[in-house]
Chains A and B, each alone.
Chain A
Amino acid sequence: MPEVTYLDADELVINMGPQHPATHGVLRVKLKLDGERVTGSECIIGYLHRGIEKIAENRTYQQFAPYVDRMDYVAAVTNGMGYCEAVEKLLGAEIPPRAQYTRMILAELQRIASHLLWLGTHALDLGAMTPVFYTFREREEILRIFENYCGARLTTHAFRIGGLLYDLYDGFEKEVRKFSDMFLGKIDEYEQLLTKNRIWLERTQNVGILKAEDAIAYAVTGPVLRGSGVKWDVRKAQPYEAYDKVEFDVPVGRHEGWGDTYDRYLVRLAEMRQSVRIIRQAVERLESGPIFGKVGKIIKPPAGFEVYHAIESPKGELGYLVVSDGTTHPYRVRVRPPSFVNLQAFDLMARGHLIADVVAIIGTIDIVLGEVDR
């Protein structure tokens, strides 16, 4: 065959975000395109940087707790739980079981709420308009429970270092039970809309493939890691609170050694079911008792050393490294944000895909920019 020279279209650099409906906040992605195919990408973040880690150094341990709610603002409860536990670990404090189970119930509800928000927006990104309204309807129920418990829906500041500030309100158990009974049916409803939908399958299967070894190399955690077939969950591997006392499964994707957007979708749906399972067990074990451990009004952890405590937040491993200097103020608080670390794998997942897939991949990583930028 004779040598052919091709008239190449110019490489197009397109700026997605920071004001773009599908970047879930103020993420800016610079995409290099060949036609509509992505040949490279760069995430530009920091538009929501508020210096939360710096603020921590200028607040007392208790004063800082409300700030962590503002990181992953769609999962404030788990943020707060991680922080409180990290400080409790630094103090070596024990938490009474009632507080532990309450925390678990609220955290699992929060996980469901966060996944619901993810599911709705993810589907919306892929052009399915209806699920978002259904998921928000159920999320509303969860937020109502939060509001009844602590007066806030979003940035709850539900827990205190040492336990709980408020005991559960009357009818909490009943409401949670009612919700968990109702919710399983609702998951089926979402699945009817999406799981076997041919277009949904085509849009999510084989899109944003992440091999397990890449997932580990990029330190991806949470549903993204599990979607790639790595059966690992902080709640199982290194249990905190009373997660070792309840039964639940760790769902993984369909493939051995790699995962795509559809795997992550399935994993998150399965996780919601597991959360309901945990909630049901935890509600059964709620016994009356103290809700606050032996932690003083003034928190002064022992000086000089640090602890790292990680929990399984809806987005992945949320870790807090708390360094104490013996005063009432933390010397340094480092947040290991799952969204930030997971977002790093975006370039790997997006390369070679089309623009439309970029949207799917951003959605499937499930980032919250408040947490990426902190």
Chain B
Amino acid sequence: MFNDAVQFVENYPLLVAAIKIVIVFLVLSGVVAYMVLAERKVLAFMQARLGPMRVGPWGLFQPAADGLKLLLKEDIIPAGADKFVFLIAPVISVVAAFTVFAVIPYGPSSALIITDLNVGLLFVVAVSSLGIYGIILGGWASNSHYPLLGSLRSAAQLVSYEIPAGMAIVGVLLVSNSLSLVKIVEAQQSSGLWNFFLQPLGFLIFLIAAVAETNRNPFDLPEAESELTAGFHTEYSGFRFALYFMAEYTSMVLVSALAVVLFWGGWLRPFASVAALDFLNYLPPVSLLMIAGVVFFFARRNPVPAEKWFLVAVAAGSAVLAGVVAVPVVITAVQPIFWFTAKVFALLYAFIWYRATFPRYRYDQLMNVGWRWLIPLALGNLIATACVLWWAGPNPGRLKLFFAMLAANLAVAIVVALLVGWRSPTAAAVEKQTGS
């Protein structure tokens, strides 16, 4: 039977790829839908409130309700809008965001990789830079001032932050010596060091640029509700609005997945080479058991019988699943996907966390951060990385490389800080204005 499967895969590669694509698409849609719920819930808990509680137990079915509502809403096209552009803009956003997932490796086995392009990294950068068209064209086509301003802002913002993000990626490229995402993870596996430890500065730059490119707080200027009502999608409603919404959350998942692949070792367990931490291998079943326990605890306190039994069923399901996962063979098979997902979720949590914590940058300050800080830092990082690699020569010792990189990163940070200086360019203007 196993041989049959192998035969099937070999005979119909396109069909298998299509099946994988469908699976990834469905799972991703689910993740995105529940990401919205998770964001609302996490934000709510950080803000001393409960979040959605109505649809299903703890609002668990809220995404379905939201989706249904948006589907059934009227699709309004403003008068004077450029109809064709207005209609295709959100589609561009979503397609660009989803397409990139084709090259993300979810695990080491070929079953978990849709395709391994040898220019995977370039493909990622290229396709994800297309998403901006959805935003610019959508804002322009609405024939309205706020959306136009929103799309202008996001055009400037995305172009500016793509540069540091790209340069941070180049640092990874130098360290890993490949453009293939699979090879990048494999390089981290073989060296036993995540790129995060070799490129801490690069990771920081990438993370900041990623937040900016997904238009998330504190860089959510293109849709800053207090300034531009809703920015580029002010005039959108119904399903097209939902598409934009989906695109935003998909890109969040995307940049998190990318950061995980590039810097956090993709599907690798943390410190995979340290035997003392092997107990971490049992985390998948243990976490499932914990989920089961928590759900069961809340199920007992739920007053609605239907919800109660649903939750009990969920708890039981998780427990059973934990049992299945605990089987040694399965546990090894599940490891990669578990760690990949866990890391992506950790980054996604950070996205939500920023939103609860930070005020929003102003447009010029955003440009300042991008051009005056991130780009010099990224450039310096690139040069320093190249120098260290040249100095270390082929196959350097792990610790040697780590400390050399750390020192180089620190040096770059200090030099850039000194050069750029702490003085904000507005200070002079203020002095002029106040005469002090």
- Chain A residues with CB under 8 Å of chain B are 12, 14-15, 20-22, 36, 123-130, 133-134, 137, 193-194, 197, 199-200, 202-203, 206, 209, 211, 255-258, 354-359
A-B contact list, 10 entries, CB within 8 Å:
A14-B146, A22-B225, A127-B359, A128-B359, A129-B47, A130-B357, A199-B358, A199-B365, A354-B364, A357-B362
Q: Which chain B residues numbered 295 to 344 have a C-beta less than 8 Å away from chain A?
A: none
Q: Evaluate contact between B361 and A199: CB separation under 8 angstroms.
A: yes
Decide: B225 and A21 in contact? CB cutoff 8 A. yes
> In the complex, which residues of chain A have a beta carbon less than 8 angstroms from the beta carbon of B49?
133
CB distance from A252 to the nearest CB of B (A): 15
Interface centre among B217, B221, B225 (most CB of A within 10 A): B225
Known: A36-B363, A128-B357, A355-B228; 6 extra A-B contacts, CB below 8 A, are: A21-B225, A22-B225, A36-B149, A130-B47, A257-B434, A359-B227
Chain B residues positioned under 8 Å from A36 (CB to CB): 149, 153, 363
Q: Contact partner of A211 among B225, B355, B424, B434, CB < 8 A? A: B434
Cβ contact within 8 Å between A356 and B424: no
Query: Is B362 touching A22 in the complex (CB atoms < 8 A)?
Result: no
Known: A129-B217, A202-B424. A257 touches B436 (CB 8 A): yes
What are the residues of chain A within 8 A of B355 when measuring CB–CB?
Answer: 129
Q: List the B side residues contacting A20 at CB < 8 Å.
A: 229
Contacting pair A203 B361 (CB below 8 A): yes
Separation in Å of the B120 CB from the closest CB of chain A? 34
Q: B226 within 8 Å of A by Cβ?
A: yes
What is the chain B residue whose CB lies nearest that of A259? B434
User: Shortest distance in angstroms between A95's beta carbon and chain B's nearest beta carbon?
Assistant: 39
> How distant is the Cα of A179 from the Cα of B217 in the complex, in angstroms?
33
Whole-angstrom distance between the alpha carbons of A130 and B360 in the complex?
12
CB neighbours of A357 from chain B (8 A): 362
Is the Cβ of B227 less than 8 Å from the Cβ of A22?
A: yes
Min distance, Cβ B79 to any Cβ of chain A, angstroms: 17
Q: Are A203 and B48 in contact (CB under 8 A)?
A: no
CB distance from A64 to the nearest CB of B (A): 36
> Which chain B positions have C-beta within 8 A of A257?
434, 436
Q: Which residues from B are CB-within-8-Å of A126?
A: 226, 359-360
- 8 Å CB contact of B224 from A127, A137, A193, A211: A127
Determine the residue in chain A with the shortest Cβ distance to B431: A206
B398 is an interface residue with CB less than 8 A from chain A: no
**Complex Cα distance A134/B47, Å?**
7
The docked-state distance in angstroms from the alpha carbon of A171 to that of B205 is 56
A-chain residues with CB within 8 Å of residue B48 when the two chains form the complex:
133-134, 137
Q: Does B356 contact A (CB under 8 A)?
A: yes
Q: Does B427 have its Cβ within 8 Å of any Cβ on chain A?
A: yes
Closest Cβ of chain A to B82, distance in Å, is: 19
B44 to A, closest residue via Cβ: A133
In the assembled complex, the CB of B149 is this many whole angstroms from the nearest CB of chain A, namely 7
| CA of A27 to CA of B259, assembled, Å | 44
**Does B430 count as interface, using CB distance less than 8 angstroms?**
yes
